Amino acid sequence: MTIPNDEIERLIRAEHWDPFSILGPQPSGEGSGTMVRVFLPEAVEVVLMPDGAAGRAVPMRAVQDTGVYEVHLPQGAPPGYRLRVTDRWGNVSERHDPYAFPPLLSDFDLHLFAEGRLYQAYDRFGAHLRTVTGVPGVHFAVWAPNARRVSIVGDFNGWDGRRHAMRSRGATGLWELFIPELPEGTLYKYEIRPQDADAAFLKADPYAFAAELRPKTASIVRDLSKYQWGDRAWMDERGRRDSLAAPMAIYEVHLGSWARVPEEDNRWLTYRELAAKLIPYVTGLGYTHVELMPITEHPFDGSWGYQTTGYFAPTSRHGPPEEFMAFVDACHRAGLSVLLDWVPSHFPDDPHGLAWFDGTQLYDHHDPRLGYHPEWHSRIFNFGRVEVRNFLLNSALFWLDKYHVDGLRVDAVASMLYLDYSRQPGEWIPNQFGSHENLDAIEFLKEFNIVVHRDHPGVLTIAEESTAWTGVSRPTYAGGLGFSLKWNMGWMHDMLRYFSLDPVYRKHEHNHITFGLLYAFTENFVLVLSHDEVVHGKRALLDKMPGDLWQKFANLRALYGYMYGHPGKKMLFMGGEFGQWCEWNHDASLDWHLLEQDSHRGLHQWVRDLNRLYRTEPALHEVDFEWNGFQWIDYNDWEQSAVAFIRRARNADDFVVCACNFTPVPRHGYRIGVPAPGRYRELLNSDAAAYGGGNVGNLGGVEAEPVFWHGYSYSVCLTMPPLAVVFLKPS
């Protein structure tokens, strides 16, 4: 049987959509036996060699001068064979034929994928080291339903798209190929020829586990099964933990700019160096969680990782995947939870990424009113397509499964929920009911939370959601989106506006301090002072504070003190703990030299002691999301810019009093009501000399008196230090 000329032409032009119909072992048209056919355009001689002792070597016949070689085996093809290839440069090599291997994706895999329920697709798609019939190699699988042909290219085949065309799996749009003898570390891409264009283009693997360091963009074959984890006890305990009743003090960090190595061309720290330096620093400050701004692979440093191209690849800026595993493992061994920022809301249009992946807008929408994000100049995922939802769900589950991550903070949820987000009238399309809710995105977020909490008990999902959408952190069965927690953006903006005012004007804005308690228990809130507030001309936190140098530090200590007394979990962006003066710069290290100055060291110590108090006092963390954990003493002293309140533990008799003075005037004889008699010990005072304050306070504590005040039968007469927060507890 001779291959038809038109079939040869398709192979040569790399247009053949079904190479397995002509390459590899084929039924012979000569009555019996098998025809084995290969396409090796670099070869001048090819010999088929049966594996083991199952027959003799047989030279293959060249079909004209096309690079096609074939041989008829009357007794049928051996169960395994190799090809001895002599190329035009005289090199001789032996290899197995990729077209002699069967498909590895099962019919059940295809069925689940078509349903959008293949939740472990990351174990099948992408590039995986496999051993098939005793032969090691790499199995590739990719979704490109509108492609005419998909090939795997790399250094191993001279980036020649004719050489390793993939097998189409029909209507699913999946393509797969097992390439024998490829090693770990192989660089590769997919060469895709679309239906309506003659030119092919290269795409990185959407499921790649690693990628080259920018500006290079090739995907890299990586084996994630080799790392030996040492956090079994942590993982077992995590599923039993009640995180909502536990202390949660989060240190938000950008790994590329937390610290650098200036003597080595200002290079980034590796994951192992970060494990050695960052982890003891964060735990030494008493934080319970570290939140990493996106470490998913991204081409542009200035996107901070929020323009993701590698949804399954930790950025190579800091090292290979196993080193990031070691970082997470080290965090767990140190008692530190790891949260990742994850971005399912949009993706960039870099040519090697998801945009126009198979020649069509596969992952987003064709209509820019649905598919283009005007604020970030990026593409919006098509949440109504089951394959796209499956891709995103797999990305989320992947980090929890393979990297033992303890939670995902979902970026830009508001942009997902609203079709008119950041758009003017006429620039968006209403949903089927004529409204602006993105119904597909809502269903995706619900499914995301259901699947994550079902498959990974104890893991947290946190929404960065900046609107008044109801039920973000309520269960899906109660009509909510199902997140564990929600960032309290309103609280952050109110606090920063209030504390940036000169204290003389604060009495006119007193409602900014109290307003957050009107809605504090409608969601499970995280109080955040995030990276977004210290860039793009907004100034660093310390620089936002009014007054002279002493007042700036006192104001910032008071802000942190109020934050730790207020209901809700806590998060602070790196540098805020010691008073970074300059805005955050993603291309430079934090200004660690500032810790040589007393004022900055004092602020640093204040944050450490706040975290210690927060972790050791159940009243400050056990009941964050219900009214019975909070009680106002006085919220109405606007004239003196002062507030006082009580925080209670589950045991209501266990409580802490928090009193705040947001003016630079010390207030002597300031009386507040308290719920019980006895001596009230001063747990912390932000004006203590150790923190850089003036040491105005209550000499360690005060006695409650049977004087009715603020609705309580007892009261204490305090000395309220200037621009300060005081924590008290009955002995």
Question: Does the residue 123 lie in any domain?
Answer: yes
List beta partners, residue 192: 150, 201
* Threshold 0.85, pTM exceeds: yes
Q: Single out the residue in 97, 124, 158 at which a domain terminates.
A: 97
Same domain, 210 and 116: yes
**Rounded CA gap, 211 and 698, in Å?**
59
Domain limits for position 16: 5-97
Q: With contact defined as beta carbons under 8 Å apart, do 704 and 680 qualify? A: yes
Same domain, 136 and 207: yes
| Buried/exposed code over 269-288 (b: 16+ C-beta within 10 A; e: otherwise) | bbbebbbeebbebbbebbbb
Full DSSP string of 673-719: EESS-SEEEEEEETTSGGGTS---S-TTEEE-BS--BTTBSEEEEEE
| Token representation of residue 311 | 């949804």
Question: Does the residue 154 lie in any domain?
Answer: yes
Give per-residue pLDDT as tens, 467-521.
999 999 999 999 999 999 999 999 999 999 999 999 999 999 999 999 999 999 9
Question: Does the residue 282 lie in any domain?
Answer: no
The four Cα atoms 604, 540, 336, 603 give a dihedral, to 10 degrees, of 10
Q: Single out the residue in 173, 188, 220 at which a domain terminates.
A: 220
Question: Does the residue 332 lie in any domain?
Answer: no
**Rounded CA gap, 619 and 656, in Å?**
6
Same domain, 93 and 150: no
Full DSSP string of 561-620: HHHHHSSSEEEEETTTTTT--SPP-TTS---GGGGGSHHHHHHHHHHHHHHHHHHH-GGG
Q: With contact defined as beta carbons under 8 Å apart, do 487 and 526 qualify? A: yes
Same domain, 211 and 167: yes
How many other C-beta atoms are found inside a 10 Å radius of the C-beta of residue 339?
23
**Positions of E strands within 195-265:** 201-203, 210-211, 219-220, 249-253, 260-261
Question: Does the residue 716 lie in any domain?
Answer: no
Same domain, 83 and 150: no
Supply the CATH number for residue 149's domain: 2.60.40.10
**Rounded CA gap, 71 and 113, in Å?**
38
Closest CA to 685 of 714, 722, 716, 649: 722
Which amino acid does the sequence have at 493? H
Environment class of 117 (CB within 10 Å of its CB; exposed 0-12, middle 13-18, buried 19+)? middle
Q: With contact defined as beta carbons under 8 Å apart, do 660 and 643 qualify? A: yes
Q: Single out the residue in 220, 243, 275 at which a domain terminates.
A: 220
Strands laid side by side in the 630-637 sheet: 630-637, 642-648, 655-661, 724-730, 679-685, 701-703
Give helix 489-499 / helix 549-565 axis angle, nearest 10°.
Answer: 150
Question: Does the residue 673 lie in any domain?
Answer: no
Same domain, 73 and 129: no
CA distances, 448 to each of 146, 485, 627 (Å): 27, 14, 29
**Rounded CA gap, 466 and 618, in Å?**
29
Same domain, 114 and 160: yes
Same domain, 78 and 37: yes
Number of domains forming the structure of the chain:
2
Which residues are part of the catalytic machinery? Answer: 411, 464
Same domain, 137 and 159: yes
pLDDT for the residue 29? 64
Pairing state between β 289-292 and 249-253: parallel
Q: With contact defined as beta carbons under 8 Å apart, do 386 and 201 qualify? A: no
Environment class of 340 (CB within 10 Å of its CB; exposed 0-12, middle 13-18, buried 19+)? buried
What lies within 8 Å, CB to CB, of 385 at 6+ separation is none
**Rounded CA gap, 558 and 500, in Å?**
12
Same domain, 115 and 70: no
pLDDT for the residue 53? 60
Q: With contact defined as beta carbons under 8 Å apart, do 204 and 218 qualify? A: yes
Pairing state between β 337-342 and 407-410: parallel
**Rounded CA gap, 301 and 299, in Å?**
7
Question: Does the residue 78 lie in any domain?
Answer: yes
Same domain, 154 and 203: yes
pLDDT for the residue 2? 67
Which amino acid does the sequence have at 246? A
What lies within 8 Å, CB to CB, of 569 at 6+ separation is 248, 249, 250, 485, 525, 526, 527, 621, 624
| Token representation of residue 725 | 């927060």
The four Cα atoms 223, 229, 234, 235 give a dihedral, to 10 degrees, of 40
Question: Does the residue 458 lie in any domain?
Answer: no
pLDDT for the residue 28? 75
Same domain, 118 and 215: yes
pLDDT averaged over 10-residue windows placed end to end, the chain, 731 residues = 77 86 83 85 93 80 89 79 92 94 96 95 97 96 96 95 94 97 97 88 98 97 96 94 95 97 94 98 98 97 96 98 98 98 96 96 94 92 97 98 98 96 93 96 98 97 95 96 97 97 96 96 97 95 97 98 98 98 96 97 98 98 97 96 98 97 97 97 98 95 96 96 98 88
Pairing state between β 24-27 and 34-39: antiparallel
Q: With contact defined as beta carbons under 8 Å apart, do 326 and 341 qualify? A: no
